């Protein structure tokens, strides 16, 4: 049975403004740094496949959230994933702290291009790139 006491590293706080799908897969944590942001999750057995390593779909969903966060932070515009490419480099196991970050590499009026990395400690787990459609009618004007 999974324990909800996930012991995130110092500086991480619970992420509470996520949608139902992401919240169901968590709990997730985040921190803002001088260079950007980091999201993290304590890998649990329910995140894993039959081989005992984090399921590729879980890693991709986590990376998609990172990419979307980067787009929001850069553009203040709601965006939808158009394409995402993922390179699986390593695995994560139950009990390990998985974290990642992302950045926008280019944004136009209608699309944003971004990159993300997931890692456990110093070990790269996944690299992803994405293209997001910026939904201008939802642009935050505040």
Q: Write out pLDDT tens, residues 29-50.
A: 999 988 899 999 999 999 999 9
Give yes or no for residue 24 having a pLDDT over 80. no
Q: How confident is the model at residue 15 (pLDDT cuts 50, 70, 90)?
A: confident
| Alpha carbon distance 100, 67 (integer Å) | 10
| Alpha carbon distance 55, 92 (integer Å) | 9
CA angle centred on 68, ends 64 and 74, rounded to 5°: 150
Q: Give the residue-averaged pLDDT of 40-63.
A: 95
Other beta carbons within 10 Å of 57? 11
Half-sphere exposure of 1 (CA within 13 A, CB side): 3
Give yes or no for residue 21 having a pLDDT over 90. no
- Report the share of the chain in percent with pLDDT over 70: 92
Model pTM? 0.89
Q: How confident is the model at residue 1 (pLDDT cuts 50, 70, 90)?
A: very low
Bridge partner list, 140:
none
How many residues comprise the chain? 142
pLDDT tens figures, 86-103: 999 999 999 999 999 999
| Alpha carbon distance 104, 75 (integer Å) | 9
| Of 11-15, 85-89, 103-107, 114-118, minimum mean pLDDT range | 11-15
Give yes or no for residue 4 having a pLDDT over 80. no
Cis ω before 95 (30° cut-off from 0): no
Residue 45 CB contacts under 8 Å (≥ 6 apart), including other chains: 2, 94
What the block records as the tokens of 79 is 């965006």
Give yes or no for residue 71 having a pLDDT over 60. yes
| Alpha carbon distance 117, 124 (integer Å) | 7
């Amino acid at each position: 049975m999974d324990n909800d006491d996930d012991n995130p590293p110092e500086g991480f706080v619970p992420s509470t403004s996520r949608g139902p799908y992401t919240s169901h897969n968590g709990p997730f944590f985040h921190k803002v740094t001088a260079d950007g942001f980091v999201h993290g999750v304590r890998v649990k057995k329910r995140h894993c496949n039959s081989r005992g390593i984090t399921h590729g779909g879980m890693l991709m969903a986590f990376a998609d959230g990172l990419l979307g966060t980067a787009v929001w932070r850069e553009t203040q515009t709601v965006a939808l994933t158009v394409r995402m490419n993922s390179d699986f480099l390593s695995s994560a196991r139950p009990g390990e702290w998985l974290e990642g970050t992302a950045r926008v590499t280019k944004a136009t009026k209608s699309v944003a291009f971004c990159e993300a990395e997931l890692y456990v400690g110093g070990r790269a787990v996944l690299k992803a790139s994405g293209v997001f459609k910026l939904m201008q009618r939802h642009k935050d004007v505040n």
